[in-house]
Structure 1
Amino acid sequence: MSTFDEQEPRHDLRAVPDEHHPSPDEGVEQLEREAAATRAELGETVDALAAKLDVRTRAKHGADEQKARVQHAVANVRRSATDREGKPMPQVWAAGVAAAVALVGLPLAVRLVRSRGRRLHRYRGYRL
């Protein structure tokens, strides 16, 4: 059995810093850096979740996108419907007149046919 004096001297790892064992100050600084990075990541995650849950802002953003799409489409139609001077092309005038006639004339035609049919049924003794 050996006595305490005969044993080899023990090295205190805290007293001699080397590459594999950082000093306590370096370990604390490293932990603080990791904690700060984790806090930043957590903050970004919370902000992303809050943005997804904010329905009003998301709806407004969607409406703004839709408005931009419609404005773009209107600009494209205007550009294709006018000549280089900005005047409407004859085909556009013809299409506009046809659309106006259809919008005004179709309901009038339907009303005329229905009223005429009712008058015919009334004279013949039929009821609607």
Structure 2
Amino acid sequence: MSFAHQQIGKPYIWGSDGPNGFDCSGLTKASWSQAGVYLTHSSRIQYQQAAKVPVSEAQRGDLLFYSNDGTQAGIFHVAIYLGDGQVIHSIRDWSSWDGTKVTGMYYSSGLLPLAGRV
């Protein structure tokens, strides 16, 4: 996770896995590659590559996937779980959330998180 923390403040760039910016799956791919783990550059395929765990049992370093409907087909975002309800991710939002940063794990109507361990 130190690699991911070193990327804080870099912009969200769709399709990028660094070094100047990242999209969500590009950040998880690049971060895990530092530990010798290969992940595909796709949040939906990363979900396939991970062992599924209940979100309530997520541990530091697990991937947290956001899905519109709780299925793999509905996955649209991935983050790295830091513990204590915090994640690090690269997110594109038309507000102050743009880029790579640490935020709280967010839940809202229609956003169903799934967790995976690599």
**Normalized against structure 1, the TM-score is what?**
0.16
Structure with bigger RCO (C-alpha 8 Å, 6+ apart): 2
**Which structure shows the bigger proportion of residues in helix conformation?**
1
Q: From the two aligned structures, give the one with the greater strand fraction.
A: 2
> Which of structures 1 and 2 has the bigger CA Rg?
1
> TM-score when scaled to structure 2?
0.17
